[in-house]
Amino acid sequence: MRLRLNEQTLSRRLERVAAHVPAGARLADIGSDHGYLPVALMRRGAIAAAVAGEVALTPFRAAQRTVRENDLDEQISVRHASGLAAIEPDDRITAISLCGMGGETIRDILESGKARLSGEERLILQPNGGEQPLRLWLMENGYRILCEEVLRENRFDYEIIVAERDGPVMYSAEELYFGPLQMQARSPAFVQKWQRMLRLKRQTLAQFAKARTVPEDKAKDIARQAEWISELLA
């Protein structure tokens, strides 16, 4: 039986995200949807204040409702805004979560909201795919990856990336692809994710072999990814 998820019972994915929010943080949860993450953390006394930002009206109203029903209007400000436009300097935000969106979307939100980042905030990112371009943005903007994890829930592999701005940092192309810390740690969830990915890449290559025309660049790119994954798992 599936659990009913809400501000009291977070999904395992959001529970792992919550574990990376420093105690006493002033959290901005961007793309908050129902506002479950900031409300759960505030109910537990784990954070000092929060902003829940939402660009879409229906989830924005849902977040307002969750905050109101938990009597947390004083501590959590729900804002209808795109990306980091939800944050003001007076909020003195110390941690930003961006979860459940594509890695490219998270990267674009960070890039277009750069002026609103003080550089002191911890970023807790949970991309659904597109991890490589997101890690590239982190590297190019001086963010060091402090912690990474892969977890599987409801037949999806999710990644969590925690980063802080820490001066220049260099990651290799493979580290940007797999995650520098995950490559070292090689957790069972990480290995299983890449075993599945390798099967998918090989299936794609087999389909390409039968197809009449395939863009050469695309075929080369997938072949290179399959090679990297095979080397990783060897």
Ligand X SMILES: C[S@@+](CC[C@H](N)C(=O)[O-])C[C@H]1O[C@@H](n2cnc3c(N)ncnc32)[C@H](O)[C@@H]1O
6-45 residues in contact with ligand X (CB under 6 A) are 14, 30-33
Which residue's CB is nearer to ligand X, number 56 or number 206? 56
Only one of the segments 50-58, 130-138, 145-153, 192-200 lies at the binding site for ligand X (rule: CB under 6 A); that segment is 50-58
Tokens describing residue 172: 């290799």
Q: Does 56 bind ligand X (CB under 6 A)?
A: yes
Only one of the segments 95-103, 130-138, 155-163, 187-195 lies at the binding site for ligand X (rule: CB under 6 A); that segment is 95-103
Quick one: how far is CA 14 from the chain centroid? 10
Q: Does 127 bind ligand X (CB under 6 A)?
A: no
Q: Least distance to ligand X from the beta carbon of 122, Å?
A: 16
Pick the binder of ligand X from 64, 66, 100, 175 (CB under 6 A): 100
Q: Which amino acid is at 151?
A: L
142, 125 Cβ separation under 8 angstroms = no
Which residue's CB is nearer to ligand X, number 134 or number 229? 134
149-178 residues in contact with ligand X (CB under 6 A) are none
Number of amino acids touching ligand X (CB under 6 A): 17
Which residue's CB is nearer to ligand X, number 83 or number 103? 83
Residue with token string 């277009």? 112
Pick the binder of ligand X from 40, 42, 49, 101 (CB under 6 A): 101
Which residue's CB is nearer to ligand X, number 80 or number 144? 80
Q: Residue 18, Cβ neighbours under 10 Å: how many?
A: 20
Q: What is the dihedral of CA 12, 71, 34, 122, to 10 degrees?
A: -60
Pick the binder of ligand X from 18, 51, 54, 116 (CB under 6 A): 54
Phi/psi region, residue 29 (left: phi>0; alpha: psi -120 to 50; beta: rest), is: beta
- Between CA 18 and CA 104 the distance in angstroms is 22
- Between CA 130 and CA 190 the distance in angstroms is 16
Only one of the segments 49-57, 135-143, 164-172, 226-234 lies at the binding site for ligand X (rule: CB under 6 A); that segment is 49-57
24, 36 Cβ separation under 8 angstroms = no
DSSP secondary structure string for all residues of 25-60: EEEEEES-TTTHHHHHHHHTT-EEEEEEEESSHHHH
Only one of the segments 48-56, 145-153, 170-178, 216-224 lies at the binding site for ligand X (rule: CB under 6 A); that segment is 48-56
Closest CA to 22 of 122, 147, 117: 122
Q: Does 179 bind ligand X (CB under 6 A)?
A: no
Which chain residues interact with ligand X by CB under 6 A?
14, 30-33, 53-56, 59, 82-83, 99-101, 105, 109
